[in-house]
Chain A
Amino acid sequence: MDDGTTGPVARAADEDRPNLGRLFGVGQRVLAVVVLVLLALTVLQAARTSKSSVDAVNATTGAQTTTGIISFTQRESLSTAVEVERWLAGSASRRDLQIARALLARRLATVDDKGVAAGELAGPEFREALAALDQAWADAPPGVLPEDQRLRFLETVSPAVIDFTERSKQLSDRYSQIADSVLNETTENASYNNQLELLLLGLTLVTSLVLLTWLARDVRRKYRAASAAIERDREDLDAAQTALDRAAAFDRGEAAVLEQIIAGRTLTDVLEQSVRLANSRVEGSRFRLVVGGSLIDPATHRGAVVLRDGQLPDDPTGAEVVAAWDLPVDEGVPAGLLQLVGTVPPEERDEAERVGRRCADLGAVATNRHHAAERLRFQATHDALTGLVNRAELLARVRAAMRHDGDGGSLAVLFIDLDRFKLVNDSLGHKSGDQLLVEVADRLRSLVGTDPHLTVSRLGGDEFVILCTRISRLADAEAVADRVAAALVEPVEIDDAEVFVNASIGVAFATPQMESPEQLLRNADVAMYRAKRAKSGNYVVYNAALEADVAERLETDSALRRAAGRDELRLFLQPVVDMVTLRPVSYEALIRWERPGHGLVGPDDFIPMAEETGIIVELGDWVLRTAVQLLADHRARSGEELRLAVNVSARQLLEPGFAYRVLSTLFEFNVPPSCLTLELTESSLIELRSSGSVLDRLRESGVRVAMDDFGTGYSSLLQLQTLPIDVVKLDRAFIAGLSAEPGRRHAVLAAATKLVQASGLDLVVEGVETEYEREELLRLDCRLGQGFLFARPAPADEVLARATGTRSTSSGATPA
């Protein structure tokens, strides 16, 4: 239970509550002690009473009783009297009489338990009689009384004896008298004791009664107080129970709302329900919720009311906001605000505070979950790297768009693939590749802008797709393709390096016969591939003819993969000649594919595809190994050292251990490295600047590196000095138009050759086809040339046989 709500009530009850823990008051305790003392005294008195009777008995043993003394006295007296008479009769001596009298005296001298002598107790009459008797025989002669004197003594002694005997007998009366008085005394004593005992008993009883009455009254009063306290406690408990019931009802409502949150009801619905729940708990006021610029107030509106400028309107009922709770912060921003408007009765304030807090929490849970769900949905439908729509979402949108096909327009997709992206990824690293993709995505996004009919997505890798809906003409799609190409013309700056990312774009339109979005995408993919192969233009629009092309491509690819194993590859050589002597100084090794049913296939027809599929690595290895073997064979046959150049693709150079493979092959056939030249295209060299170490290592070993097709790429002439090359092969483009417009071309050619020569590099001019061109070149001090003017590429055996001046016996292959 919450302390804040019940605390004051509980404290008030404590103040009223009697001290039930202490059963007896101080007065009652004192009285109880008095009762105990009285009881003890009563018992003591009873003991005293019984002891006094015991004392009476004890008196007979420890001391002589009065009556005992008297009876003894009587006996001794009578003995004395008898002795007197015997003496008178002459049968006893005076001594006998004296002894008897002495024994009486002895007896009379004894005292009773109170210290009174027997003589006193016997009384004066007795004592006088005894004195008279003593007087009567005082002058008796010793011995037995003689006969002659008997008469004389008889006269005086006899009456005295008679009197004494009489007195002695009267001692019995005395005895009775004393016994009575003793009895009386004892009785008196006993009755005094009994009275005292009775008094004590009475006092005890009265005191006990008072105590009991007092206690009973207290117990009754305390019982009444306790019952009242219990009654109050029960009321408190009932109040607490009611509060708990309300809390439980709120809990159930809260649970129901939470269930709905989990079930995925819309945010507005759930928030409205939370507010309704809060309203049902607090009377006399109502809650409303402001979330995300909307007002939710079930009391005035259903659903959410969007606020203008986020400003709350005045409440229609004119109620004031009395309390507000933030919805707990979601990612640094409070999810909203719960307000309580109207008036809250004081007794409802605690409940309102509690309900408001929990309702705000509930609202926060709902909004947070809503946001989380939104985030999840976004993550499920978007590419994590670029934030563009992902493949699954694209397909879903294409499917949706295809369903609504014909609603005022057709549907097209642009399949965009970045050229040479893989090279960037491999040479500069994945991080740079990712940067490039993000930049491209940004450019595409800004290109599309807020156009609702255009959707940019990333399928994965370097493939992007733009979905265009409501396209009415082919020209519209082409316009988009042009805009994409234009957007990617600018180089992308990555790690202080500029990267050029040309894109190949395939465009495909949806047709009513089309069965799936995947088919539409595939068509665009086919068109894109065609665009990639086309030298000119950035995009190709799909048509049925492209299908066949795709089929052929697939066939070519699988055939090429088997070519090396089936011995279908051939090595051709084209000499580089000294244009003055016309003698070959070296040869360029060229690959040909003797494909069954197709004849001899030139490199242009399969090398680009091999580059894409990666077979280029195997083909390159084959060329390298065959070339080196050729060098070894030739030397063995003719004793001459030959120089060969082989073409190496950037892809090959990026293969791990390329340099080692080259050098170990040379070592295997015992061929000096200086006999081998690796030719790389200008663009490959530019891209491979970071792989310079591989080329450096090869050059240090003696292998020469040539830049092929100089003048076709983007490298500046100034870069020649920094590139790891030994030879520059000038593209035919420099001399192609030499005869048509000699002036300008000549100047350019002259500048280029001068620059190369100034850089200390060997220069070879490719594509020398006329005598005029040869002469012009010689005039510019270009000694080395390659071209149809001197020799076409021919099978290696044939070329070498001719070079050594001996007839080749092999059947040979027909020239290309």
Chain B
Amino acid sequence: MLKSRSVRAAASVALCALVLGLAACSSSESSTSTTAKEGKSTSTTYPYGAGVVDPPGPTDVVLTVTGPGGSKTFTMDQLKALGTKDVTIDEPFVKRRIAFTGVPMEAIFATVGISGDVRVSTAALNEYVYDKSTAADFTGSDGLIAVAQEGQPVPVDQGGPIRIIFPDGTPLAKNLDAWNWSLEKMSVKES
């Protein structure tokens, strides 16, 4: 009897140690997440800009789209004329909530007959190219070409003048490579 009692005591000690250990784990986790939040709050400004880039003039072409229906160029106004949509999303690169005004990619694709499973190649001003997704992927994720941010033209140092964005929760929203900013051209990728 005595022996069994001591064993029982040992067991309860082990149990206590276990519980304490688990508590320690969870507390270290919470401290980590706290630092992450602080980091986010510090990067609310854009301290790395240098001067202003001249915004495109009314006649300046901001986007060139090439598809089966030929090649088409758009000025800012021409783009907006295709119809715009306002969305507020979690911008993943600066991790802030930002309201955008954008033209649905579907409308733009339609002007040159891009649709379905054709791969679309997007190219930025700095020649960054993303061509891993199809037209259907973009339209399926309600892809937009943002033309304004918080009601203002999008500065180039914030991805302007135009950029590809995706509403929260859509499939391509998590694929950061697809968020091509300072977009210049879109075309059907030659296979």
Contacts and interface: CB of A to CB of B under 8 A. Distances in A.
Interface of A: 25, 27, 30-31, 34, 37-38, 41, 61-64, 76, 79, 95, 98-106, 108-111, 114-117, 119-120, 127, 130, 134, 138, 196, 199-200, 203, 206-207, 210-211, 213-214, 217
Interface in B1-38: 3-5, 7-8, 10-11, 14-15, 17-18, 21-22, 25, 35-37
A108 B48 contact: yes
User: Most B CB atoms within 10 A — which of A105, A116, A213?
Assistant: A105
B47 A119 contact: yes
Nearest to B52: A98
Interface stretch (B63-71, B75-83, B150-158): B150-158
B126 interface: yes
Contacts of B155: 102
A116 B39 CA distance: 6
B14 A102 contact: no
Interface string B140-173: 0000000000000001111100000000000000
B54 interface: yes
A151 B185 CA distance: 36
B39 A98 contact: no
A210 B7 contact: yes
Interface string B160-191: 00000000000000111000011000000000
A234 B24 CA distance: 60
Interface stretch (B87-95, B99-107, B108-116): B87-95
Nearest 8 A-B pairs (CB), nearest first?
Answer: A108-B48, A115-B39, A102-B156, A105-B157, A115-B40, A102-B157, A110-B93, A134-B50
Given A104-B48, A114-B36, A41 B22 contact: yes
A210 B182 contact: no
Contact of A203 (B4, B18, B125): B18
Contacts of B14: 34, 203, 206-207
A199 B93 contact: no
B93 A111 contact: yes
24 contacts: A25-B4, A30-B8, A41-B22, A61-B175, A64-B176, A98-B51, A101-B50, A102-B182, A103-B125, A103-B157, A104-B48, A105-B49, A109-B48, A109-B49, A111-B39, A111-B40, A115-B43, A116-B39, A117-B48, A119-B48, A134-B50, A196-B21, A200-B21, A217-B3
A302 to B, nearest CB: 68
B46 A109 contact: yes
Nearest to B50: A134
Given A25-B4, A98-B54, 9 more contacts: A34-B15, A76-B126, A99-B182, A100-B126, A106-B156, A108-B48, A109-B48, A110-B94, A203-B18
A199 B40 CA distance: 35
A117 B96 CA distance: 12
Contacts of A37: 15, 18
Contacts of A62: 92, 174
A207 B174 CA distance: 45
Contact of A95 (B22, B37, B53, B159): B53
A102 B52 CA distance: 8
Given A105-B50, A110-B94, A41 B157 contact: no
A115 B49 CA distance: 19
A116 B41 CA distance: 10
Nearest to B54: A95
Contacts of A106: 156-159, 181-182
A98 B182 CA distance: 13
A103 B181 CA distance: 9
Contacts of B158: 106, 109
A619 to B, nearest CB: 121
Interface of B: 3-5, 7-8, 10-11, 14-15, 17-18, 21-22, 25, 35-37, 39-40, 42-43, 46-54, 92-95, 124-126, 155-159, 174-176, 181-182
Nearest to B155: A102
B18 A200 contact: yes
Given A99-B53, A196-B25, A210-B10, A105 B176 contact: no
Given A98-B53, A116-B39, A30 B11 contact: yes
A115 B47 contact: no
A117 B94 CA distance: 8
A558 B97 CA distance: 158
Contacts of B125: 99, 103
A38 B18 contact: yes
Contact of A114 (B3, B18, B39, B49): B39
Contacts of A120: 43
A196 B17 CA distance: 12
A436 to B, nearest CB: 100
A75 to B, nearest CB: 9
B45 to A, nearest CB: 9
A99 B18 contact: no
Contacts of B43: 109, 111, 115-117, 120
A196 B20 CA distance: 12
Nearest to B3: A217
Contacts of B53: 95, 98-99, 102
A134 B17 CA distance: 59
Contacts of B21: 196, 199-200
Nearest to A63: B92
Contacts of A111: 39-40, 43, 93-95
Nearest to A105: B157
A27 B8 contact: yes
Contacts of B47: 119
B11 to A, nearest CB: 5
A101 B7 contact: no
A63 B174 CA distance: 8
A570 B21 CA distance: 152
Nearest to A218: B4
A200 B124 CA distance: 52
Contacts of A206: 14
Contacts of B50: 101-102, 105, 130, 134
B94 A34 contact: no
A569 B188 CA distance: 168
B157 A31 contact: no
A303 B166 CA distance: 127
Contact of A103 (B10, B11, B17, B156): B156
A543 B174 CA distance: 157
A697 to B, nearest CB: 116
Nearest to B160: A102
A95 B156 CA distance: 11
B36 A115 contact: yes
A114 B125 CA distance: 28
B166 to A, nearest CB: 13
B4 A103 contact: no
A252 to B, nearest CB: 54
B94 A109 contact: yes
A699 to B, nearest CB: 121
Nearest to A116: B39
A622 B3 CA distance: 129
Contacts of A76: 126
Contacts of A27: 4-5, 7-8, 11
B174 A64 contact: no
B17 to A, nearest CB: 7
Contact of B126 (A63, A103, A119, A134): A103
A196 B124 CA distance: 48
Contacts of B37: 115
User: Most B CB atoms within 10 A — which of A61, A106, A196, A214?
Assistant: A106
Contacts of B8: 27, 30-31
A214 B48 contact: no
A38 B16 CA distance: 12
Contacts of A25: 4
A317 B175 CA distance: 120
A34 B11 contact: yes
Contacts of B124: 103
A105 B174 contact: no
A106 B174 CA distance: 19
Contacts of A79: 126
